[in-house]
Structure 1
Amino acid sequence: MVSFNKFFKSVFLAVTYASATSASPFPGSAKHATHRVREVGRGLQVETFHPPSSFETFGTGIDHPLSKRDNPDLEESTIAFVESKLGVAKDAISFKSGFAGETAKHAFVKQSHDGIPFANAVANVAFNNDNKVVSFGSSFVKPKKIASSTPSVSLTDAIAKAEELIDGQHNDHPPTLEFLALQDGSVALTHVIQIQNDETGAWVEAFIDAHTGELHSVTDFVAKASYRVLPIQKEILTQGFETLTDPQDLTASPQGWHSDGTTSTTTTAGNNAIAFKGSQTSVTGQSSATDNFIFTQSATTAPTTQANLDAARTNAFYIVNSVHDIAYKYGFTESSFNFQNNNFGKGGSGNDRVTVSVQDSAGTNNADFATPADGQSGRMRYSRIVVFLWTQTSPQRDGALENDIIVHENTHGITNRMTGGGTGRCLQTTEAGGMGEGWSDAMAEWTEHTSAAFPDYVMGQYVINSPAGIRTHPYSTSATVNPLRYSTIATLNEVHDIGEVWANILHNVHAALVGVHGFSTTARTDPTGTAGNVVFLHLFIDALALQPCNPTLPTARDAWIQADVNRFGGANSCTLWRAFASRGLGVGAANHRDSTTVPAGC
Structure 2
Amino acid sequence: MAAFQKLLVAALLAISYTSAFPATGQRAERHATRREVTVGTTKIDAYHPPSSLETFSGGIESPSSRTTSSLGDSAKAFVASRLSKSSGEVTFRSGYSGDVAEHAYLTQTHDNIPFANAVANVAFKDKKVVSFGHSFVTPKSINPSTPSVSVGDAITTAEKTLGGKYNNYPTKVEYYLTSDGTAVLTHVIQVQNDATGAWFEAFVNAHSGDLVSVVDFVADASYRVIPIQKQDPTEGFETLTDPQDSVSSPSGWHSTGTTNSTTTAGNNAVSYKSSQSSVTSQSSATLNFVYNFDATKAPATSPNLDVARTNAFYVVNTIHDLTYRYGFTEAAYNFQTNNFGKGGSANDRVLVSVQDSSGTDNANFATPADGQSGQMRMFLWDYTSPGRDGAIENDIVTHEMTHGVSNRLTGGGTGRCLQTTEAGGMGEGWSDTMALYLNWTEQKSSATPDFTLGSYVINNKAGIRSHPYSTSTTTNPYRYSTLKTKTEVHDIGEVWANTLFNVYAALVQARGWSATARTNPTGTEGNIVFLHLFIDSLAIQPCNPTFLTARDAWIQADVNRYAGANKCTLWKAFASRGLGVNAANHNDDTTVPTGC
The residue matched to 1:149 in structure 2 has which SS?
A: coil
Q: What corresponds to 1:48 in structure 2?
A: 46
| Residue 533 of structure 2 corresponds to residue 501 of structure 1 | no
- 1:230-379 map, 5 Å: 235-379=231-375
Q: Distance in 2 between matches of 1:236 and 1:552?
A: 33
2:510 aligned with 1:519, yes or no? no
In the alignment, is the contact (CA less than 8 A) between 1:24 and 1:593 conserved in 2? no
The Cα of 1:261 is off from its aligned counterpart by: 4.1
Structure 1 equivalent of residue 541 of structure 2:
547
Alpha-carbon contact 2:368-2:414 (below 8 Å) kept: yes
The aligned amino acid for 1:31 is R
Who is 2:30 aligned against? 31
> Does the CA contact (< 8 Å) of 1:276 and 1:356 recur in 2?
yes
Q: Does 1:160 align with 2:156?
A: yes
Contact preservation (8 Å) 1:374, 1:422: yes
User: 2:103 matched to 1:106?
Assistant: yes
User: Aligned pairs, how many?
Assistant: 566
1:326/1:524 contact within 8 Å kept = yes
What does residue 84 of structure 1 align with?
81
| 2:7 match | none
Alignment correspondent of 1:61: 59
Aligned identity (percent) is 65
* Partners of 1:260 and 1:269 within 8 A in 2: no
Structure 1 residue aligned with 2:555, among 561, 566, 579? 561
For 2:397 and 2:540, the matched residues in 1 are separated by 26
Is 1:487 the counterpart of 2:481? The answer is yes
Tell me the distance in 2 between the aligned counterparts of 1:405 and 1:283. Answer: 20
Within 1, Cα distance between the matches of 2:279 and 2:87? Answer: 50
* Partner in structure 1 of residue 123 of structure 2: 126
| Aligned residue type for 2:504 | H
Matched residue type, 2:462: A
Deviation at 1:131, TM superposition (A): 0.5
Aligned partner of 1:215 in structure 2 is 211
Could you say what secondary structure the match of 2:192 adopts? strand
Does the Cα contact within 8 Å between 1:25 and 1:491 map onto a contact in 2?
Answer: no
Q: Using the alignment, how far apart are the partners of 1:52 and 1:341 within structure 2?
A: 35
Q: TM-score, with normalisation over the residues of structure 2?
A: 0.94
Deviations 1:409-448, CA, capped at 9 Å, x for gaps: 0000000000000000000000000000000000011011
Distance (Å, rounded) in 2 between the aligned partners of 1:520 and 1:343:
30
- DSSP 3-state at the match of 2:92: strand
Helix, strand or coil: the match of 2:270? strand
Q: Which amino acid aligns with 2:83?
A: L
Which residue is 1:478 aligned to? 472
Check conservation: 1:178, 1:191, Cα contact below 8 A. yes
Shift of 1:26: 8.2
Cα offset for 1:262? 2.1
Post-superposition shift, 1:289? 1.6
Kindly indicate whether residue 98 of structure 2 is the aligned counterpart of residue 72 of structure 1. no
Q: CA deviation at 1:72?
A: 2.4
Distance 2:508 2:414 in 1: 33
Q: Give the letter aligned to residue 311 of structure 1.
A: V
Secondary structure in structure 2 of the residue aligned to 1:577: helix
Give the conservation status (yes or no) of the 8 Å contact 1:261–1:270: no
Counting only pairs closer than 5 Å after superposition, residues 560-579 of structure 1 correspond to structure 2 as 560-579=554-573
How big is each residue's C-alpha offset from its partner over 1:566-592, in whole Å with a ceiling of 9 and x where there is no partner?
A: 000000000000000000000011110
Runs of 4+ in 1 over 2 A off after TM superposition: 23-30, 69-72
| C-alpha separation in 1, matches of 2:302 and 2:218 | 29
Match of 1:455 among 424, 449, 453: 449
| Equivalent residue, structure 1, for 2:437 | 446
Matched, 1:469 2:463: yes
Q: Distance in 2 between matches of 1:527 and 1:100?
A: 18
Superimposed CA distance per residue, residues 93-138 of structure 1 (whole angstroms, 9 cap, x where no aligned partner)? 111100000110000000000010000000000000x100000001
Among candidates 411, 415, 425, match of residue 420 of structure 1: 411
State the AA in 1 paired with 2:557.
Answer: A
Gap runs ≥5 in structure 1: 1-12, 17-22, 225-232, 383-387
2:398 corresponds to which residue?
407
Q: Does the Cα contact within 8 Å between 1:359 and 1:389 map onto a contact in 2?
A: yes
What is the deviation of 1:24? 6.2
RMSD: 1.4
Picking from 367, 382, 385, the partner of 1:391 is 382
Q: Distance in 1 between matches of 2:24 and 2:498?
A: 20
Q: Secondary structure at the match of 1:243?
A: coil
| Corresponding residue number in structure 2 for 1:137 | 133
Name the structure 1 match of 2:223: none
Structure 2: gaps of 5 or more residues: 1-18, 221-228
Task: Tell me what 1:5 maps to.
Answer: none
CA distance in 2, matches of 1:350, 1:303: 33
Structure 2 CA distance for aligned equivalents of residues 94 and 190 of structure 1: 18
SS of match in other structure, 1:359: coil
| TM-score, structure 1 as length reference | 0.93
Deviation, 1:235, is 1.3
Distance (Å, rounded) in 1 between the aligned partners of 2:358 and 2:171: 26
What is the Cα deviation at residue 29 of structure 1?
A: 4.2
Q: CA deviation at 1:44?
A: 2.0
Question: SS of 1:264's equivalent?
Answer: coil
8 Å contact kept, 1:143–1:186: yes
Contact 2:451 2:470 (C-alpha < 8 Å) held by counterparts:
yes
Q: Name the CA shift for 1:319/1:137 in 2 (closer, same or farther; >3 Å).
A: same
Cα distance between partner residues in 1 of 2:412 and 2:338: 19
Query: 1:291–1:234: structure 2 CA closer, same or farther, 3 Å change rule?
Result: farther
Equivalent residue for 2:226? none
Structure 2 SS opposite 1:292? coil
Contact kept, 8 Å, 2:171 with 2:189, in 1: the verdict is: yes
CA positional deviation for 1:28:
4.0
Query: Match of 2:423?
Result: 432
* Structure-1 residue corresponding to 2:165: 169
- C-alpha displacement of 1:563: 0.1
Paired amino acid for 2:464 = I
Distance 1:26 1:94, change over 3 A: closer
Deviation at 1:260, TM superposition (A): 3.4
